[in-house]
Amino acid sequence: MPGRRWLREIERLDPIADHKRIVYIDGVHEFPWDIQRALELALFRTFAVPSIGGLLAGTGEFFKRPQKRYDDTDLLISLLLEEGYDTGRGARALERMNAIHGRFKISNDDYLYVLSTFVLEPIRWIDRYGWRRSVPAERLAMHEFWRNIGGRMGIRDIPASLEAMDAFNRQFEADNFQANDNSRRVGEATRDFLLTWFPRPLRGAVTRGIYAALDPDVADAFDFPRATSLERAVLQGALRLRARVHRWLPGRGAPRLRTEPGPRPSYKDGWRLDLLGPPSFVAAQARDSQTEGEQEPS
C-alpha cells in the first residue's frame, strides 16, 4: 500500500504522550477530507437533541448567517486540530470558543455529548469510509485529545476510556433524540445551506444524499424523509469507491491546512481570530478590548 510514511510514524508514537501529534497527522495528512466530513456530521447529530436545537434556534445564527457560522466553527476546530490547545493560536481559539459558549446556559451533559461526537464520529467515519481503518493509537489519541480540551472547557465526568465514551454517547442519543420544532428548523437551515455549495440542477440529488448520510433517528428528529435502502447503498458505494481509489494514491506530503491566511466566503479580506463568533459577541469583545486599552496606565 503506497503512502505508509505517516502510519509508520503514528505507530512509533505514544498515543497518550504524543496525542496532539497523532491528531495533527490524521487531520492534515492521512484523513483531512474524512475528518472534516465526520465533524460536519457530528454537529448535525447534535442538533437532534431538543435542548441543543432549542439553543441554536434561539440564537438565530443558523438562519441569519449560516456561512459565517460554518466558517467560524471550521476555523476554531481546525486551529485546535492543527496547532493544539495549550499554546499559540490553538490556545487562543479554545479561549474564544469558551467565551462564546459562556454566554449561554448549557448543561454539562449537553457539553459532554457534543464532545463525545467529536471523538467518535471521525473514528466511525474512517472505519466505514476511510482509505484504511483507524489503528488503536489513533483511537486512543483522539480520545485523549478531546478529553484534554473538555477538561479545559470545564466539562465534568468525561469518560476515562473510549469504550465508556461510546456507551455514554449511545445512551444519551437513545434518551434524548426526538422530533421537535427547533431541531427541525435548525436541521432544515443547515441542509439548505449545504445545498448552496452545489449547482441548482444537482441539489435534488444532493438533498437525497444528505438524507442518506443521516441515521434514521436523526432524520426523524428533523422530520426529514428517511432515505431508501437504494439511496443508502449508492452513497455508501460511492464513498467506499473513493476510499479504494485513494488507497493506491501516493501519501500526502504537504499538509492540508484549513487555517492558512487568506479569504474565505465570510471573510473576503481574510479572517482573523478576533473576528470569529456572532457579530454581537465580536462587537462586545472589541469594546472590552478598547476599554482595557484606555484604562492602562501611561
Neighbours of 102 (CB within 10 A): 12
pLDDT for the residue numbered 1: 55
pLDDT at position 297: 52
**pLDDT tens digits, one per residue of 31-51:** 999 999 999 999 999 999 999
For residues 244, 249, 255, 260, the Cα torsion angle rounded to the nearest 10 degrees is -80
Distance CA 4, CA 8 (A): 6
* Euclidean distance between CA atoms 44 and 115, whole angstroms: 13
Answer for the pair 53, 182: CB distance below 8 angstroms, yes or no. yes
pLDDT of residue 298: 46
User: DSSP 3-state assignment of 16?
Assistant: coil
DSSP-H helix ranges across 130-197: 136-152, 162-176, 181-195
Phi, then psi, of 264 in degrees rounded to 5? -135, 165
* pLDDT tens by residue, 191-233: 999 999 999 999 999 999 999 999 999 999 999 999 999 999 9
What pLDDT does 237 receive? 97
| pLDDT of res. 173 | 97
What is the predicted pLDDT for the residue at 3? Answer: 61
Task: Return the exposure string of 251-272: e unless at least 16 CB atoms fall within 10 Å of the residue's CB, then b.
Answer: ebeeeeebbeeeebebbeeebe
Per-residue pLDDT of the chain (298 residues; tens, 9 = 90+): 556 889 999 999 999 999 999 999 999 999 999 999 999 999 999 999 999 999 999 999 889 999 999 999 999 999 999 999 999 999 999 999 999 999 999 999 999 999 999 999 999 999 999 999 999 999 999 999 999 999 999 999 999 999 999 999 999 999 999 999 999 999 999 999 999 999 999 999 999 999 999 999 999 999 999 999 999 999 999 999 999 999 988 877 899 999 998 889 999 999 999 999 999 999 988 887 777 665 655 4
Instruction: Residue 280: count other Cβ atoms within 10 Å of its Cβ.
Output: 11
Residue 242, classified by CB atoms within 10 Å of its CB into exposed (0-12), middle (13-18) or buried (19+), is: middle
pLDDT at 262: 87
Q: How many CB atoms lie within 10 A of CB 249?
A: 10
